[in-house]
Chains A and B, each alone.
Chain A
């Protein structure tokens, strides 16, 4: 591999290779619409309980209000995050993180890399942690967090979480000024493709969908459905007759519904039908689901409760 990446996918592949070499399980994206890599159960749920864990993955993420019809150089309603989670947080996590920047061609004696205070909080997940946003030459390239609480539970032990905004990071490394102009595959490929070749069309369509198209009545109904289904799944008795009457709590299926509710709320927000006062109430409802799922997960085998 040359010293610096030549394409968006090269950045991703280098991160995958690096974190694989660091001993992380390289997972695949979660197959649901989420607002950030943190929502992947490999982070949210696995940050809970005593069991050691190390995973890294790309997560397509959706932020409906950030749609700009593919025009804005930096904003997208669909983008990629690279997520690393290691529990317990290793003592040399900062060094390992800096190693990942070196792997994508950022030399810390040539670029100004800084850890700037940024306390992370997710009101919808009932989660918070302390850490930094990492700046490279004045640009935020990652979020670095020591999880203290998730779903209302203290993290014991604490996980270290790294989140890279892949488009922004890659644009910087590749020197692209507009995300749509960034090479997606190698520019020397027989069929070179830019980010725009792949995503301009969808950005346009989804921007219209998010702001004007989505049926708010349906979204509201689906929100209520997801909320009810999450509660219903968690209300089952713990013992499962078809699994030899052992405990078999449906924490993950319930959490899927929590993820759905969260994304539906984001869409409703983009459609502008949620007032300032209602907003808090909706966030509170999603948080209540996240907490209920966390409560369920910590009783499971993977959650260290069985």
Chain B
């Protein structure tokens, strides 16, 4: 059983593309092998900045022989048709078999294909994989790039290693792509061990690479970085702020990780931690190091790709200087921004928003801020916030977009606003709103709960939604350039997680949706369905509740849907729905036939059967319980009361025939069915439930 080893050696592959590339290489090659009859035992893919590797264990030495039988034309078909069949099958006339068929005699071809050696199949599969590799972006290079059909790769591909290893030895797979012939040779670390060396199989490859200062497995590099960084920090009484995503990225930037730790110069320690972390993480790919005693970020970890002769002193010194230059910039912006806040306040800082276009049909950012402030004032009483505070918060919440710090580090929007608001002596609730009114930013982002933040966050999102709706810029298909779906989900999560009782239709109109308010509500209902489906609530359950009045109050809507879902999960609920459906069907047929609506009210005096009288009593009791439960919005109690109808309805249908000959009794029973339907429909539109 041969084992296969592939290495595609190139100039530096972007770190963010490596995880996907590993998966793609594994998928393309293993699928290609299996499609061509080569099964395998196990496969694993690896990457470093300069190589993509794949090890496949336990391939057969050749693909199995296959036999295919193909039906051809009738034996009396024109000669041209028969010749065509011979060409297609590669057989001669005497090799065809004649067999009787329903419509006469036909030719049959038996095509035998011998197995092919694994090396030939691997060559074909790998060439295909390289030529069709789904890099997010790929390029041409060198002299070959004069030809438009030149090989494309993520960065110049330098060599291909492709070998099959058996007990008998190593076989280089005969393959040439874009002028590069496959071999058994690779290279070590760019600086520590640049010479080429041959390998005999995967184990040998991994071992030799390690001696050549390359750790092949990215997971091992990441683990080494985490471990070393933790140890180094711990030795100095500090701790590394966990950041697995950054560690994974760093692991994609180095073949031989060497952890170095440095301190942040004292003159920068007063900067907000987010500023320090942004400079370090986004720009330098440093891990942050915290002092557990103070909670302050005081140091950094950088990961070098070499074991430097001086122990990393020059590298650390250089990195510290680069960080100091960045933090000097940040401190300069911070000082300038604080000066602006001290002299002109946040409103002064935000004055320039008038010159920033939000959207050419929706005015400037300043226009938008004014609208949001008005809307926040309207919303405030509905969410328990002071209208003055909410309006004040909205007016300054976007002022930091004009700060120097956010100009340089856009990812700090809102976060800087909060610091500047605190420096301006504004109430903490107002300051928090600067940061939190952007939230929630996605399905898993935290939802603000402070009333002032909630008011501004809602106003911000509703203004965006309503205004874009009003100018006809709605999301379509995959196009949502203004992130309106995210804004919609934001409104939903703000309402639900805070249990807000909002009339979104009114608010959409107040936010300027004008004639599009109903359509915007329908959009929010669609987003709500997606949101609830993720939480396991069936779409027909939501539909049954959407059909009820007050459906622009999402909190009420969801309470009803949750109660209904819980009710349907019970035996009583399931059976009651059956009973309801039966009642509604009989009634609908009768109403259609008779051309009347049986809504005159049933009279217990025409009840003939005890089950009928019992149903009257049960309906009286249920109605008496449902009405107060509904006004108290206690949907569970309303559903319980409805559930009590199950027994009487079942007994009624068992004992009596609705469509009896006695017209009076029949009419009364139909009116009784109408009462069942009406009673149930007060709770939810059960007709919309799927059977």
Whether chain B is bound by chain A comes out as: yes
Seen from chain A, the residues whose Cβ lies within 8 Å of a Cβ on chain B are 50, 72-74, 88-91, 94, 108-117, 119, 129-132, 136-139, 146, 148, 154-158, 160, 172, 177, 275-277
**Contact for B144 among A50, A108, A157, A275, CB less than 8 A:** A157
- Since A88-B146, A108-B306 are in contact, a sample of 18 more A-B pairs with Cβ atoms closer than 8 Å, ordered by chain A residue number, is A88-B145, A90-B142, A109-B192, A109-B306, A109-B308, A109-B309, A111-B318, A112-B315, A112-B318, A130-B137, A130-B139, A137-B315, A138-B284, A146-B139, A146-B140, A157-B144, A158-B142, A172-B321
Bound Cα distance A113, B156 (Å): 19
A109 to B322, alpha carbons, bound, how many Å? Answer: 19
The distance in angstroms between the C-alpha atoms of A242 and B99, with both chains bound, is 84
Q: Which of B8-16, B240-248, B491-499 lies at the interface with chain A?
A: B8-16
Question: Which residues on B are within 8 Å of A, measured CB to CB?
Answer: 11-12, 14-17, 49, 137-148, 154-156, 158, 190-192, 253-254, 284, 286, 302, 304-306, 308-310, 314-315, 317-319, 321-323, 325, 328-329, 332, 355-357, 360
Give CA–CA (A193, B230) in the complex, Å.
47
Pick the 3 closest A-B CB pairs, nearest first. A137-B318, A117-B14, A115-B12
Q: Which A residue's beta carbon lies closest to that of B323?
A: A138
B314 contacts across to A, CB distance below 8 A: 110-111, 137
Q: Could you say which residues of chain A place their CB within 8 Å of the CB of B253?
A: 114, 116
Residue of A nearest to B303 (CB): A112
| Contact, CB under 8 Å: A138 / B302 | yes
Instruction: Supply 22 A–B pairs (Cβ within 8 Å), ascending by A.
Output: A88-B142, A108-B191, A108-B306, A111-B308, A112-B305, A115-B12, A115-B49, A130-B154, A136-B318, A137-B319, A138-B284, A138-B302, A139-B318, A139-B321, A139-B322, A146-B141, A157-B142, A157-B144, A157-B146, A158-B139, A177-B321, A277-B357
With A130-B137, A138-B302, A146-B139 as contacts: A277 and B145 at CB distance below 8 Å: no
In the assembled complex, the CB of B267 is this many whole angstroms from the nearest CB of chain A, namely: 14
A-B contact count (CB 8 A): 120
Query: B11 is contacted by which of A111, A115, A119, A157 (Cβ under 8 Å)?
Result: A115
The residue in A88, A112, A115, A156 that gathers the most chain B C-beta atoms within 10 A of its C-beta is: A112
**Complex Cα gap A72–B137 (Å):** 37
CB–CB B141/A111 < 8 A: no
Given A89-B142, A117-B15, A277 and B360 contact (CB-CB distance below 8 Å): yes
Cα distance, A157 to B14, chains bound together (Å): 23
Closest to B260 in A: A112
Asked, given contacts A137-B319, A146-B139, whether A110 binds B310 with beta carbons under 8 Å apart, the answer is yes
Instruction: Please tell me if the beta carbons of A89 and B308 are within 8 angstroms of each other in the complex.
Output: no
**Is the Cβ of A155 less than 8 Å from the Cβ of B306?**
no
Query: B191 near A109 (CB under 8 angstroms)?
Result: yes
List chain B residues, Cβ under 8 A from A119.
137
B154: chain A residues at CB < 8 Å are 130
B284 touches A157 (CB 8 A): no
Q: Assess the B325–A73 pair: CB atoms within 8 A.
A: yes
A50–B146 CA distance with the chains assembled, in angstroms: 7
Contact B322 A137 (CB under 8 A): yes
> Please, how many angstroms separate the alpha-carbon atoms of A117 and B135 in the complex?
14
B307 to chain A, nearest CB (A): 9
Of chain B, the residue at the smallest CB distance from A276 is B357
Instruction: List, in ascending order, chain B residues with CB within 8 A of A108's CB.
Output: 190-191, 306
Q: Which residue of A lies closest to B324 (CB)?
A: A177
Which residue from A116, A154, A276 sits with its C-beta under 8 Å from B356? A276
| Residue numbers in B under 8 Å from A115 (CB-CB) | 11-12, 49
List chain B residues, Cβ under 8 A from A138.
Answer: 284, 286, 302, 318-319, 322-323
CA distance A146 to B138 in the complex (A): 11
**Once the chains are docked, how many angstroms separate the CA of A88 from the CA of B145?**
8
Chain A positions within 8 Å of B158 at CB level: 91
Q: Are the CB atoms of A155 and B145 closer together than 8 Å?
A: yes
Q: Chain B nearest CB: distance from A119 CB in Å?
A: 7
Contact A91 B142 (CB under 8 A): yes
Per the bound structure, the CA–CA distance linking A74 and B328 in Å amounts to 10
Shortest CB-to-CB span from B360 to chain A, Å, is: 6
Q: Please determine whether A148 and B139 come into contact, CB atoms closer than 8 angstroms.
A: yes
Most buried by B among A108, A138, A148, A277: A138
Write out the residue numbers on chain B whose beta carbons fall within 8 Å of the beta carbon of A74.
325, 329
A114 lies within 8 A of B315 (CB): no
CA distance A63 to B293 in the complex (A): 45
**Once bound together, how far apart are the Cα atoms of A50 and B143, in whole Å?**
10
B16 touches A157 (CB 8 A): no
- Please name the residue on chain A nearest to B302 by beta carbon: A138
CA distance A94 to B317 in the complex (A): 25
Residues of B within 8 A of A131 (CB): 155
Residue from B145, B306, B317 within 8 A of A158 (CB atoms): B145
The answer to whether residues A158 and B323 also contact, given A109-B309, A111-B314, A277-B360 and a CB cut-off of 8 A, is no
Give every chain B residue within 8 A of A73 (Cβ-Cβ): 325, 328
Measured CA separation A130–B306 after assembly (Å): 25
Contact among B140, B284, B286, B308 with A148 in the assembled complex (CB-CB below 8 Å): B140
Q: How far, in whole Å, are A137 and B322 apart by their CA atoms in the complex?
A: 8
CB-CB under 8 A from B17, the residues of chain A are 117
Let me know if A156 and B145 touch, CB within 8 A.
yes
Taking a contact as CB atoms under 8 Å apart, the answer to whether A89 and B141 are in contact is yes
Which residues in B have their C-beta under 8 angstroms from that of A109? 191-192, 306, 308-309
**Selected contact of B318 from candidates A117, A148, A156, A172, CB within 8 Å:** A172
When distances are taken between beta carbons in the complex, the residues of chain B under 8 Å from A156 are 145-148
Is the pair B318, A88 in contact by a Cβ cutoff of 8 Å?
A: no
Chain B residues positioned under 8 Å from A158 (CB to CB): 139-142, 145
Q: How long is the Cα–Cα vector from A139 to B138 in the complex, in angstroms?
A: 26
Nearest CB to that of B17 among chain A residues?
A117
Residues of A within 8 A of B306 (CB): 108-109, 112
Whether the pair A112, B308 counts as a contact (CB closer than 8 A) is yes
Task: State the Cβ distance, A211 to closest chain B Cβ, in Å.
Answer: 15
Cα–Cα distance between A275 and B356 once the two chains are bound (Å):
7
* CB-defined contacts of B322 to chain A, threshold 8 Å: 137-139
Which residues of chain A are near B12, meaning CB under 8 Å?
A: 115-117, 132
Interchain CA distance A2-B137 in the complex, whole Å: 43
A148 contact set on B, CB distance < 8 A: 139-140
Q: In the docked arrangement, what's the CA distance between A129 and B156, Å?
A: 13
Q: Is the CB of A88 within 8 A of B356?
A: no
Cβ distance B452 to chain A, nearest Cβ, rounded Å = 30
Residue of B at shortest CB range from A145? B139
CB B506 to nearest CB in A, in angstroms, measures 33
How many angstroms between the C-alpha atoms of A88 and B323 in the bound complex? 37
Complex alpha-carbon distance, A113 and B191, angstroms: 9
